[in-house]
């Protein structure tokens, strides 16, 4: 199977390039080779590569900056996936795409199901929802994996920021009233690779993907707050003196983009159809055992 992988230098793309090895001919591209803000280039790349499967982790992920760049965020997160899906339809290809817990408004107090109504509260969530809808409208075999609170030992993310700040400061004030499921980029990549492996074991991989088409929640299991996540990070990575971790409310740390107060998602559908998912605590431990950066590859 020829697989086109976008965003290979991103957190998830970096891990996917590792996890997908041996599952086909991987054409992994970075933004300089496939810029999702250039829709003509997106079309040209798909037509040139002619993949059987497109895996698209590339995205506009600057949640707060998206509030001031809604057109660019929509082009990358909403329009480009639709273009990929349209081109995939012309060549009989399938698509795996990643979305977000931020398609929900956070008003519930139990894990969101794939069938729950969406209602984004920020530009980022709205653009990611538009991408989901564009792929579905194309009518191609597709898997849309919603994930959340993504971190890893590569790139810029909450884990690496907290590890650095914990070394530099005596006190960290961390939001404690937003609830979600921290999800290691390695978990996303390995779980995706397990799905791809199942598809190529079937008599017809594309038909198998068509039969399983839909939205799935791919997150580590369990839930915590940003404060709870930081407590676990500090406990696992620091010895000796540690900073005081002070819980604060969202209103005490204002940001341009509103966040859902509760965005935990149920992974039962993914587990039932594909494979098990680790707890966020076990995934964090596995992540911290990995070496940083390019050593992962």
Q: Please state the separation of Cα 17 from the chain's center in Å.
A: 15
Per-residue pLDDT of the chain (297 residues; tens, 9 = 90+): 999 999 999 999 999 999 999 999 999 999 999 999 999 999 999 999 999 999 999 999 999 999 999 999 999 999 999 999 999 999 999 999 999 999 999 999 999 999 999 999 999 999 999 999 999 999 999 999 999 999 999 989 999 999 999 999 999 999 999 999 999 999 999 999 999 999 999 999 999 999 999 999 999 999 999 999 999 999 999 988 899 999 999 999 999 999 999 999 999 999 999 999 999 999 999 999 985 443 433
Q: Residues with catalytic annotation?
A: 124
User: Residue 28: inside a domain, yes or no?
Assistant: yes
Q: Nearest to residue 30, comparing CAs of 7, 10, 12, 11?
A: 7
Tokens standing for 155? Answer: 């790139």
231: in domain: no
Residue 53 bridge partners (DSSP):
3, 94
The verdict on residue 232 lying in a domain is: no
Which single residue is written with the structure tokens 């993907």?
A: 209
**Distance between CA atoms of 140 and 125, rounded to whole angstroms?**
23
- Number of domains forming the structure of the chain: 1
- Element holding 54 (H helix, E strand): strand 53-56
Provide the pLDDT for residue 291. 55
Tell me, yes or no, whether 171 lies in a domain: no
Three-state secondary-structure class, residue 158 = helix
58 part of a folded domain: yes
Closest CA to 162 of 219, 62, 232, 241: 232
Q: How far apart are CA 291 and CA 295, in angstroms?
A: 6
Q: Which domain holds residue 192?
A: 2-156+181-222+263-279
230 within domain boundaries: no
Query: What CA–CA distance (Å, rounded) separates 188 from 192?
Result: 6
> Considering the domain boundaries, does residue 247 fall inside one?
no
Does residue 246 form part of some domain? no
Say what the pTM is.
0.96
What end-to-end distance do the CA atoms of the chain give, in Å?
A: 21
CA–CA separation, 122 and 115 (whole Å): 20
Domain holding 62: CATH number? 3.40.50.720
Question: Is there a contact between 274 and 173 (Cβ–Cβ < 8 Å)?
Answer: no
């Amino acid at each position: 199977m020829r697989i086109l992988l976008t965003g290979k230098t991103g957190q998830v793309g970096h891990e996917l390039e590792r996890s997908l090895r041996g599952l086909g001919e991987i054409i992994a591209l970075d933004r300089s080779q496939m810029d999702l803000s250039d829709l003509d280039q997106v079309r040209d790349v798909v037509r040139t590569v002619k993949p059987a499967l497109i895996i698209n982790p590339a995205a506009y992920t600057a949640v707060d900056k998206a509030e001031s760049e809604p057109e660019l965020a929509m082009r990358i997160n909403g329009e480009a996936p639709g273009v990929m899906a349209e081109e995939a339809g012309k060549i009989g290809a399938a698509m795996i795409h990643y979305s977000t817990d931020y398609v929900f408004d956070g008003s519930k107090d139990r894990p969101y199901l794939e069938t729950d109504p969406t209602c984004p509260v920020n530009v980022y969530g709205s653009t990611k929802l538009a991408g989901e809808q564009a792929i579905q409208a194309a009518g191609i075999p597709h898997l849309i994996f919603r994930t959340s609170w993504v971190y890893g030992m590569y790139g810029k993310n909450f884990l690496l920021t907290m590890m650095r700040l914990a070394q530099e400061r005596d006190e960290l004030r961390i939001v404690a009233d937003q609830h979600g499921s921290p999800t290691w980029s390695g978990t996303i990549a390995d779980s995706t690779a397990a799905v791809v492996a199942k598809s190529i074991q079937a008599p017809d991989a594309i038909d198998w993907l068509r039969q399983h088409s839909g939205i799935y929640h791919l997150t580590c299991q369990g839930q915590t707050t940003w404060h709870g996540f930081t407590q676990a990070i500090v406990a696992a990575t620091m010895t000796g003196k540690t900073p005081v971790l002070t819980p604060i409310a969202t209103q005490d740390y204002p940001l341009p983009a509103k966040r859902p107060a509760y965005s935990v998602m149920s992974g039962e559908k993914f587990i039932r159809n594909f494979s098990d998912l680790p707890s966020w605590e076990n995934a964090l431990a596995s992540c911290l055992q990995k070496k940083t950066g390019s050593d992962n590859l």
